[in-house]
Chain A
């Protein structure tokens, strides 16, 4: 017990990036809809952020705060970090005025990924609602890269109105493929819309897949995910083969602040991707 102890007390915080964000520069901004925009970022230190589909980062805006945002880019092209953001709160609304060349802080990647390997050998059904398509886009990039490993590949995408469709051009490219069945629907539309109108679950009968051998990944508003799971179960899909991505308030992203707890789970640590049986009972309890 000597004063040498004092010298030993060097903090590692400066090197510990799990508390300190890394600076990333905004290379490109794309406005997808009236309140959704996509940022393309590159790391200032040159080290690409390696991630798996479904993971998220805590994105820091100088002086404003941090928000958890799913990574929406291609995991095979990590040199560019892509985040699709919906402006709903103070920080994300502030982010709408970001310009090319601005710098943001990034901590991550955090969270459990979508289990793409589990779908090998099965039909692979992806159901997205609204901005929920963003955390699923990395899955689709990966699935298309490994296309022959899966049976049927299906995307069902539902959103509010035609103007709210995100990644419209990409959806068209995907739909043009012969080995990818893409169906898009909206909750309501003007008469000029010639596409499907109705809830996303109404697309299920249109997509032919074998419920007995299907893995489903669902992401969107919680209500939409619950309804989708019910319809999938009605069709005969095994509950163990249904995955959700959950969302809760997060302040740290690393299982220490306590805000994201959902029952016994920390959504940032045991999630955001969960198997449906893990959530089934919790989803039925109000205000849990």
Chain B
């Protein structure tokens, strides 16, 4: 573990850019912290913190110019690995024959993610399972993921809707990164290398060895963070509780509140549903298939000849929540939720899935999961 000055962030970003990486990281735009290309230290959200709650997100300035005093905003890293719009196939029709080609273009430069929170590292790992480890892998995701450079940030300022501690995805990350940063008071940052590439990069910046006091401070900040989560979710037996209560009256209650707006699925860092659209030129000679993000909340998501399998909002909310917290485990071996709290913050009516899960568990006729 080494210690560097906060301004050295700029040098880090510069080195990555010199190595040909496009560096993506947090920056302030539209009154929130979003992820976009960053070119220098000044692009970072210096001196900002966020206040998050149900249906509420506010960015406020904070004293001391910390770099990472906020939690997560409406963006997640999935938009870079799994773009919201992505051409898939081109079809060219001539003289009674059809030429079909893949339409995905390679990226002009490898990507570096700067400022990935522990919950987000887990989200990336969860999407790795979906897109890389099934019987059919997504070659574009693979090509971006292989060369991805990750600078993680240990979370010292959990947000008002965070519950990574409950989901065991934070506030500290131990692997899955090339570098991990912990911001201390007084303008210094601890850096830990998690890979060969990470170590090599550190040799090119000025650093000092970390003092025991620094390490103690880091530990203290992180255990404070773990103890001050905005939300909590009891995960013990949760899958069974949800499976046993698919007809629970609570679904009707939340179904009435839900607008089926799909915000939660868009901000969720693990949601992966997509759809395809087909278009062609006016002569129908050249056609293209494009993949776009989709959401299980849309009314025709489950449409088969004649109608949707899930016509009611209630059933679609149930599908989303039970997928995230129950059937994901059967499909991929882990929860689909990493406790980032985005769905709570960005739901326009402030639905909180931790509360919904708690109420179903408490009011369930079969409250005790079978062992």
Contacts and interface: CB of A to CB of B under 8 A. Distances in A.
- Is the contact region of chain A dominated by helix, strand, or loop, or is it mixed? loop
Contacts of A256: 130-131, 134, 136, 138, 272, 274
A16 B102 contact: yes
B19 interface: yes
Nearest to A23: B98
Contact of A44 (B97, B108, B130, B302): B97
A252 B274 contact: yes
Contacts of A10: 106, 143
Nearest to B330: A264
B301 A249 contact: yes
A20 B100 contact: yes
B349 to A, nearest CB: 21
A62 B91 contact: yes
B310 to A, nearest CB: 5
Contacts of B309: 248-249, 287-288
Nearest to B311: A287
B29 to A, nearest CB: 28
A65 B139 CA distance: 21
Contacts, number: 168
A103 B284 CA distance: 14
Contact of A2 (B20, B247, B275): B20
Nearest to A105: B100
B136 to A, nearest CB: 4
Interface in A98-117: 101-105
A21 interface: yes
B331 A266 contact: yes
B145 to A, nearest CB: 11
Interface residues on A, range: 35 or more
A3 B301 contact: no
Nearest to B21: A1
Nearest to B272: A258
B274 A257 contact: yes
Interface of B: 19-21, 88-89, 91, 93, 96-110, 130-131, 134-136, 138-140, 143, 147, 149, 197, 200-201, 246-247, 272-276, 278-280, 284, 287, 289, 294, 296, 301-306, 309-312, 314-315, 319, 323, 326-327, 330-331
Given A20-B100, A102-B96, A256-B131, 8 more contacts: A1-B21, A11-B143, A16-B102, A63-B284, A104-B98, A105-B98, A255-B135, A288-B310
23 contacts: A2-B19, A3-B20, A5-B147, A10-B143, A11-B140, A13-B103, A13-B104, A15-B102, A60-B91, A62-B284, A65-B289, A88-B306, A89-B305, A103-B96, A105-B100, A247-B304, A249-B303, A256-B274, A257-B274, A261-B296, A261-B323, A287-B310, A288-B310
